[in-house]
Amino acid sequence: MTDSGGIQEEAVSIGKSVILMRMTTERPEGIYLGTIKQIGVLYDEIVQATNLELINVKSKNRTLKTNIFGDGQASKKIAAIIDNYFYQGHRPNSKCTTKFRQDSIARAVYSNLNASIRTPLSHTLRRNIINNLTKVRSALTLNELLKIPSRYNVSLKTDQQFAITAVIGIYRREGLIRRWIEALLLQTHPPKEIWIIYFASPIPHKLNLEIQETRSLFANGSNHCNEWCTQKKCDTSNNSSNGILSNCIQQCLTLCKQLPSMLFVAMGEMQLKYFGRFQLSLQCQTKYVIVFDDDCIPQIRYFETALHTINTEPYRGILGTKGTPASESYYYGPVSKANQIIEADVVGGSWFMESEWVKLMFHDKMQSWNTGEDFHLCANARKYANIRSFVMPVDANDISTHSFSNDYLSISDRGDTTGRVAGTASSRRHIVNQLWLRGDRLMDSYKKSRPALLVYAETNNDALMLIENVRKQMAKLSGSIHFVLQMS
C-alpha cells in the first residue's frame, strides 16, 4: 500500500501488486498492466481493496522468494563501481555495455517478425533512427526549402489528394469576410471548401450583412467574380502576350464557375471559443485542413508553399504562422520575421495540417476550454504521433508566400488576441505545466546536446579528489565541468 511514485515505478519488476492510495498517478502504465490498483483516498475503499488483495494472495500463493530491497550492500557496490571507473580498476565486460543489451533486445523483437525481416538492423542504424526522431530539423530558408523533393507541385492543384478545407474563426472583427474570401480565391492553389464560423459573436447582425454581400458577389458564374478575378490576376500582371492574357481570363471564368463550397456557421449563444473551429474541423473530408485566426490573411502562394513543405520528408508536420518554445520566451513569425523554417514546441496564427491530425488534439482531457488550443494540438501531436510543429519562413523577397498580410498587426489590435485577454497568461502557464508534467521533451531540450555529468560531493576532500578525474573524463567527451558549493 503506497502513495509513493517510486514504489509504483518498481511494481512490475518486483512482482507485487500495489494498492495506490491516490487520485492521480504519474505511472499509468502500471494501471494498464494490472500491477497497480488505483483506489483513491477514501478509508472504506482502501480497507475493502486491502482485504480483497489479502484473499487473492492466499488463494494464488503470490509470494516473492527474494528480498525486494536487496542485501543491504547496494551503496558499497555502487561506490566500488565508481571508484574502479575513475581509477581504471574495472574489468571491461561487453555484456555490460548498452550496445550488448540493445542488440539482445533487438534480436528478441525481430525474432517475432516475419521471416523476411527477422534480421535486426545494425546497432549503428538503430541509433541513427532514434537520434533522428529527436533531432531538431534544420532551419532552412524558403529557397532551400523549395529545393527539397516533395510529392506536391502546383500542377497537381486539382488532384483530390491535395484538396484543402480552410476554416476561419471570426468573433468581433468587422469588415474581414469579403477580404477573406478574396484572399482564398486568389490562392495559386485555392481551397476546395471554405468554412467561416462565428460563435456567440457580439456583432452577429453586422457579420450577417457581410455574409449576404459576399454571397451575392461571389455566386457561381457571377459577373462581379469574373471582373474582380480578371483585374486581380490578369490586368496587373503586365502580360505583353495576348495569348497569355487570354489564358488568364479563361482561368478566371473557370474559377468563377466552380467556386469553392462556402459554409458560414453561426451558433447563436453557444460560445465554443478558440476550440470550436477545431471541433468543426473534425468533420473535414479533404486530406488537408488549415485553421486560421481571423487576423492571419494568407498571401496568394501560401497554400502552394505549405503543400510543398508538408509533403517533404523532413518537414511533414503542423505548419504555423508564428511559434514559440513552450516557455513563450521568444516568438518566431510576423514580428521577428525569421526568414527560416523553425521547429517549435507550439505554433499558432494558422495551423496547416493533415485533417486526421485534428483528432489528436482531443486525445486527452482539456486542461482549459478558455485558451491554449495551440498547446493542446501541438503537444498531443508530438506526444502521440511524433508530429512536429514548424513556423513557416518569412521571406522578405517574396511576400506572396507569407501566411499573413502587411497590416497583420493592425488587424490583430482590433480583436481578442490571445495574451491580451485578461486571465489568459496565467491559464496558459498552467496548461503548459500540465501538458508536459510527465516529462515529454521540449524543443529547447533537444537543442542542448552537449554531454554533461552532474556530481554531488559531501565534503571538500571528496570534491578535490573527484575534480581532476571528472575533468579528464569530461575533456574526452568535449564537455565542460562546473562546481557548486552548497553550505549546510
If DSSP states are collapsed to H, E and C, what string results for 171-187? Answer: CCCCCCHHHHHHHHHCC
- The answer as to whether 136 is a domain residue is no
Bridge partners of 293, per DSSP, are: 169
Q: What is the mean pLDDT of residues 372-399?
A: 90
| Range from 34-43, 52-61, 79-88 carrying the lowest mean pLDDT | 52-61
Q: Is residue 471 part of a domain?
A: yes
Cβ burial of 157 (10 Å; 0-12, 13-18, 19+) is: middle
Domain shared by 384 and 238, yes or no: yes
pLDDT, greater one: 442 or 215: 215
Same domain, 54 and 93: no
Q: What pLDDT shows up at residue 385?
A: 87
Same domain, 259 and 329: yes
Asked if residue 137 is part of any domain, the answer here is no
Q: What is the pLDDT of residues 3-27, one digit of tens each?
A: 666 666 666 555 567 777 777 766 6
Please classify residue 167 by burial: count the beta carbons closer than 10 Å to its beta carbon, then call 0-12 exposed, 13-18 middle and 19+ buried. buried
Residue 343 backbone phi and psi in degrees, to 5: -80, 135
Q: How many domains does the chain have?
A: 4
**Which CATH number belongs to the domain containing residue 282 in this structure?**
3.90.550.10
**Domain-located, residue 133:** no
Q: Cell 505554433, residue?
A: 347
Q: What is the average per-residue pLDDT within 70-82? A: 71
Residue 25 burial by CB count (10 A; 0-12/13-18/19+): exposed, middle or buried?
middle
If asked whether residues 457 and 423 sit together in one domain, one would say no
pLDDT at 324: 87
Same domain, 259 and 151: yes
Residues 328 and 353 reside in one and the same domain: yes
Give yes or no: residues 327 and 414 share one domain.
Answer: yes
- Residues 250, 280 within the same domain: yes
Residues 231-282 pLDDT 10s = 988 865 555 577 788 888 898 999 999 899 998 887 666 667 778 889 999 9
CB 164 within 8 A of CB 289: yes
Beta strands in 325-450 (DSSP E): 342-344, 346-354, 388-391
Instruction: Give first-to-last CA distance, the chain, whole Å.
Output: 34
Q: Is the pLDDT of residue 182 over 70?
A: yes
Instruction: Return the H-helix or E-strand segment holding 19.
Output: strand 18-20
User: Does some domain include residue 127?
Assistant: no
DSSP state of 325: -
Cell of 386: 511524433
- Output 416-419 pairs: Cβ under 8 A, ≥24 positions apart: 416/171, 416/172, 417/295, 418/274, 418/348, 418/371
* 91 plus 10 within the same structural domain: no
Q: Is residue 314 part of a domain?
A: yes
Contacts of range 338-341, beta carbons closer than 8 Å, 24 or more positions apart: 338/391, 338/393, 338/394, 339/141, 339/142, 339/393, 339/394, 339/395, 339/396, 340/139, 340/140, 340/141, 340/393, 341/137, 341/139, 341/140, 341/142, 341/145, 341/309, 341/315, 341/390, 341/391, 341/392, 341/393
- Give the mean pLDDT of the chain: 81
Q: 55 lies in which domain range?
A: 5-59
Does position 488 have pLDDT exceeding 60, yes or no?
A: no
Same domain, 113 and 223: no
Non-local (6+) Cβ contacts of 166 within 8 A are 184, 191, 193, 194, 195, 289, 290, 292
443 located within any domain: no
The predicted pLDDT at position 304 comes to: 98
The answer to whether residues 155 and 12 belong to one domain is no
142 assigned to some structural domain = no
Q: How far is CA 231 from the centre of its chain?
A: 40
Query: What pLDDT, on the 0 to 100 scale, is given for residue 172?
Result: 83
Position 438 pLDDT exceeds 60 = no
Residues 87, 38 share a domain = no
